[in-house]
Amino acid sequence: MNNTIIRDVMLSFVRVHILHHAAREAVFGLAMIEELRRHGYDLSPGTLYPTLHGMEQSGLLKCKHEVVAGKVRKYYTATAKGRRTLDELKGKIKELFGELFDA
Ligand SMILES: [Zn+2]
């Protein structure tokens, strides 16, 4: 029960984190896994790739295929909807942060 909640919330944080970076530059799976690891999130490709794909299906990210060293790499950037969603979420996060940490 407890672990399910933590996992759900973590995955939501991960989505916000992806949106944040994809709104600034094109991101790809492996680099995003490394970036998230830097922040203390240990995600497998089996979790991250479906997350990126789901966000694309929801219209938050758009995907561009590029060939890098003979391999197809999928680069994701935030769509207009993704940017609007990020702005809205940032407002909510800021409000919650203030409540939690008396900021
Ligand atoms: Zn980051």
The CATH number of the domain holding residue 53 is 1.10.10.10
68 CA from centroid of ligand 1 (Å)? 23
Overall pTM surpassing 0.85 (yes/no): yes
69 CA from centroid of ligand 1 (Å)? 26
> Where are the extended beta strands (E) located within the chain?
61-68, 71-78
By residue range, what is the domain housing residue 8? Answer: 2-101
The string of pLDDT tens digits covering residues 62-98 is 999 999 899 999 999 999 999 999 999 999 999 999 9
16 CA from centroid of ligand 1 (Å)? 10
Say what the pLDDT of residue 102 is.
87
- H/E run at residue 20: helix 2-22
- Residue 5 pLDDT grade (very low, low, confident, very high; cuts 50, 70, 90): very high
Say what the pLDDT of residue 1 is.
53
Rounded Cα–Cα distance for residues 96 and 62 (Å): 29
38 CA from centroid of ligand 1 (Å)? 8
101 CA from centroid of ligand 1 (Å)? 21
5 CA from centroid of ligand 1 (Å)? 22
CA distances from 46 to 18, 19, 57, 83, 87 (A): 16, 19, 17, 25, 28
Rounded Cα–Cα distance for residues 27 and 76 (Å): 5
User: How many domains does the structure of the chain reveal?
Assistant: 1
Q: Are 26 and 77 in contact (CB under 8 A)?
A: yes
Percent over 70 (pLDDT), the chain: 98
Q: Are 47 and 55 in contact (CB under 8 A)?
A: no
Say what the pLDDT of residue 2 is.
62
The string of pLDDT tens digits covering residues 54-63 is 999 999 999 9
